């Protein structure tokens, strides 16, 4: 019994030691939005100083600006969180500012590079954005789809797609590196595996 507990403790330590970020975020679009919100707040402050409205008007505008900046800061923080990280025996997928999905490594089949049209109309169909696709096992029916922020990617039919505009610049080398990390992580959580 004690031998089993020791083995489980070692596996737990090895698993938690392997916590790592695989795909970083690109917070620049959110940062631009936050700077724009700060500019609007500065203009509002300048107008308040010039117009000298009653105290309730100052309080209303100040509260609105503070609320907007708080929401903008929270969005900037969420947008800067990693898109894909390995935590123990699961991959943390963040394709929404409001949450993270912990996908068990056992249901992740592979990760490979991809691309998708940049625009919805025919004029921009020749322009494409790089993506990273994470394929989930067909047997994992409960993981087939999840709600996500469509700008950050998609999660449909067992394919999790990370949009390259909201993560670090994607390349073939990054895709190969993440794929190799996936194989290593799967071996680590499944001792004796020959994958």
Instruction: State the Cα–Cα distance between residues 42 and 182, nearest whole angstrom.
Output: 47
Judge residue 195's burial from the number of C-beta atoms within 10 Å of its C-beta, 0-12 exposed, 13-18 middle, 19 or more buried.
Answer: exposed
What percentage of residues in the chain have a pLDDT greater than 70? 85
How buried is 36 (Cβ within 10 angstroms: 0-12 exposed, 13-18 middle, 19+ buried)? exposed
Q: What's the rounded mean pLDDT across residues 22-48?
A: 91
151 phi and psi, to 5 degrees? -70, -30
Q: What is the pLDDT of residue 124?
A: 55
Q: pTM for the full model?
A: 0.77
Average pLDDT of span 182-186: 93
Give Cβ neighbours of residue 24 (< 8 Å, ≥ 6 apart).
Answer: 82, 83, 167, 168
């Amino acid at each position: 019994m004690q031998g089993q507990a020791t083995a489980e403790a070692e596996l737990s330590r090895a698993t938690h030691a392997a916590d790592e970020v695989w795909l970083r975020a690109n917070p620049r679009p959110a940062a631009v939005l936050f700077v724009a919100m700060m500019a609007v707040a500065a203009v509002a402050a300048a107008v308040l100083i010039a117009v000298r409205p009653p105290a309730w008007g100052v309080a209303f505008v100040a509260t609105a600006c503070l609320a907007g900046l708080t929401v903008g800061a929270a969005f900037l923080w969420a947008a800067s969180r990693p898109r894909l990280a390995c935590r123990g025996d699961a991959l943390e997928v963040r394709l929404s500012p409001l949450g993270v999905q912990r996908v068990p490594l056992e249901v992740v089949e592979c990760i490979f590079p991809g691309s998708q049209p940049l625009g919805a109309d025919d004029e921009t169909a020749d322009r494409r954005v790089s993506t990273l696709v994470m394929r989930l096992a067909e047997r994992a029916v409960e993981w087939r789809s999840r709600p996500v922020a469509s700008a950050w990617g998609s999660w449909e039919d067992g394919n999790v797609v990370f949009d390259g505009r909201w993560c670090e610049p994607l390349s073939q080398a990054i895709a190969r590196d993440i794929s190799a990390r996936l194989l290593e992580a799967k071996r680590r959580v499944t001792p004796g595996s020959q994958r």
